[in-house]
Structure 1
Amino acid sequence: MKLEPIIPFEPVAASEFPKGDQWTAQIKWDGVRILSYFDGERTKLFNRRLNERTLQYPELLQAESYCSADSFILDGEVIAFENGSPSFHEVMKRDSLRSAQRIQEQKGTVPITYMIFDLIYLNGVWVKDKKLRDRQTLLSSIIRPNVQVQVVPSYSDIAGLYRVAEQHRLEGIVIKDLNSTYSIDGKDKRWMKKKNVQDLIAVVGGVTLRDGIVNALLLGLYDDAGRFWYIGHAGSGKLTMNDWRTLTQLITTMTVRSMPFANKPERYKDAIWIEPRLTVKINYMEWTSNKTLRQPTIQAFLDVPPQECTFS
């Protein structure tokens, strides 16, 4: 049977921890959501936006090396480490590659781990309507963990796990109802996320320069009416000097005369306006009363359609 890619179940933001024995929690890894599809002959990988990533992670294509099932759909996150901690910037060094040669070169430089947390399809049968507790039991019975594949552990002490995530500066936790079925293209309170670090994907509408090199990005989001609003500028984060130089070259083909934002940015006079085509993951502390980001930092550029970067 040919397995078509699906849009995965998504958690909603939690304002407080739920109570009850039916809840469990897992670490939220700062990685790339990847679903693995094995039809009995070949493995394919897709992200949550249905973009294929089979080429990018060849370590995961030999299904028999980590799973005993005849066919499956697994849900998890591909992560990479930097100084002992999961790093979105590091994993994007692999996810953004499109050349098979470059991917082979990066396998040793940027090793990845597939952190699996759910099972949707098993041995020719959909198991999405089974309870999470039963899917977890099935998952543990078929996965053979190795250096590059692990099953994400679950914990009943939700508050305790969140404290651990805070102490180790991890992204946060995901809280799940053990009685929940898996809702394809769903998003509801049966799965909730509590983040230690806030993040969003923004669109770049302008830049500023220092000594002829880009040194900050002017960021924006779209509202429901399609208007593009400035939300802050970021110049710190994970980009290297080589990244800034590459960006400086790139924007020469994207500059425009008119400001793309519906409101006036703080750095209006020094800005160079560009077409709002580049998207970037931003970490931040909080929103200010002026609807701008407090302490935004750049994590990585992404291949995400700009119109999907909205306030909602």
Structure 2
Amino acid sequence: MPPLPDLVRPMLAVPGELPAGDDSAWAYEMKWDGVRAVAYVQGGGVRLLSRNDRDVTRSYPEVLGLGEALGSTAAVLDGELVTFDARGAPDFGRLQQRMHVADPATARRLARTVPVVYLVFDVLQVDDTPTLSLPYDARREVLAGLGVAGPSWQVPPSFDGPGADVLAASRENGLEGVLAKRRTATYRPGARSPDWRKVKHVHTQEVVLVGWRPGQGRRAGTVGSLVLGVHDRDGVLRPAGGVGTGFTGRALDHLGALLRPLERRTQPVEGRFPPPDVRDVHWVEPRLVGEVVHAGWTADGRLRHPSWRGLRPDKHPDAVVRED
């Protein structure tokens, strides 16, 4: 059997509103709050690559059974690694415990206490036949034929709409929103395409960590808040304000250990921060990505009322762009 491709980068959605007009031209999927991963399954083995091409296989041992489940069938699958809370809703905070684990013994222990499910929503190749040029509906038929169903891997449903009803159902079930996917659209590896639209209930934004400010009182000398940057449409890293809420003490300690070795003398962004935002700031190389919840953007390009959600080691800093 010919080998599978070494790398197929995932297709990306653009933020937007529900499609207007002919609803039948679109399919709707729930938006899962997890870590995107492409799975390469062959000969009973599984290799998981994150959105920034990192091999994260050893962090999620419970997903390896997918290789045995598919048997002699080889496949490249696209999906999301998700952890659920006691109510059955995705819990990104719990997932953070799984995202940095490289030790196999620790990963196996966490697989029992903080299990993930690999939610597969697309298929990019089966055996030696790529499916990238097939329209969405045809790829979903191929995916259904694979019988991907197990204790740690599932194919979530696709809905016909109306989109407004699916979006309302996602809110009722504590989900982040929906993805609207054009039924005739092919799969475009690595492209951010309007054929896929993400419609969210809350505003989230990936951010590049460009500096930190010391805490006060008992946390003096440790990380108290973060200084943020986001790339504009021309790829220039611009100031995006700062975030000082949403952290646990443990998270701040972990951030301090990661940020201190990255310190530099000058700011790595083009543009000026308001002086209060950068008083006593320690600038760092822009290598770490995080995510915040926020209330929108100010006229001068700063995040309004951001709250920290966590690090995103699955995202590359160069791919962080403003989502309006």
Same fold (TM over 0.5): yes
- Who is 1:102 aligned against? 106
- Who is 1:207 aligned against? 212
Question: How has the CA–CA distance of structure 1 residues 126 and 248 changed in structure 2, closer, same or farther, with 3 Å as cutoff?
Answer: closer
- Who is 2:178 aligned against? 173
Measure the CA separation in 1 of the matches of 2:198 and 2:236.
28
- Number of aligned positions between the proteins: 311
More deviation in 202-211 or 111-120? 202-211
- TM-score, with length taken from structure 2: 0.86
Measure the CA separation in 1 of the matches of 2:191 and 2:265.
41
One-letter amino acid matched to 2:129: V
Secondary structure of 1:207 counterpart:
strand
One-letter amino acid matched to 2:111: K
Secondary structure of 2:209 counterpart:
strand
Measure the CA separation in 1 of the matches of 2:259 and 2:155.
42
Question: How has the CA–CA distance of structure 1 residues 25 and 144 changed in structure 2, closer, same or farther, with 3 Å as cutoff?
Answer: same
Determine if contact 1:69/1:142 at 8 Å carries over to the other structure.
no
More deviation in 189-198 or 247-256? 247-256
CA displacement at 1:163 relative to structure 2: 1.3
Secondary structure of 1:278 counterpart:
strand
**Structure 1: gaps (5+ residues):** none
Higher helix share: 2
| Identity of matched residues, % | 25
More deviation in 256-265 or 186-195? 256-265
- Who is 1:45 aligned against? 48
- Who is 1:70 aligned against? 73
Secondary structure of 1:281 counterpart:
strand
Secondary structure of 1:55 counterpart:
helix
Secondary structure of 1:231 counterpart:
strand
Measure the CA separation in 1 of the matches of 2:36 and 2:146.
20
One-letter amino acid matched to 1:121: Q
- Who is 1:241 aligned against? 249
One-letter amino acid matched to 2:279: K
Determine if contact 1:256/1:275 at 8 Å carries over to the other structure.
yes
- Who is 2:19 aligned against? 17
> Aligned ranges for residues 121-200 of structure 1 at < 5 Å?
121-157=125-161, 158-200=163-205
Secondary structure of 2:133 counterpart:
coil
Secondary structure of 1:193 counterpart:
strand
Question: How has the CA–CA distance of structure 1 residues 269 and 188 changed in structure 2, closer, same or farther, with 3 Å as cutoff?
Answer: closer
More deviation in 19-28 or 271-280? 271-280
Measure the CA separation in 1 of the matches of 2:27 and 2:72.
26
Determine if contact 1:77/1:116 at 8 Å carries over to the other structure.
yes
Question: How has the CA–CA distance of structure 1 residues 248 and 13 changed in structure 2, closer, same or farther, with 3 Å as cutoff?
Answer: closer
- TM-score, with length taken from structure 1: 0.89
CA displacement at 1:86 relative to structure 2: 1.0
- Corresponding residue to 1:61 among 49, 58, 64: 64
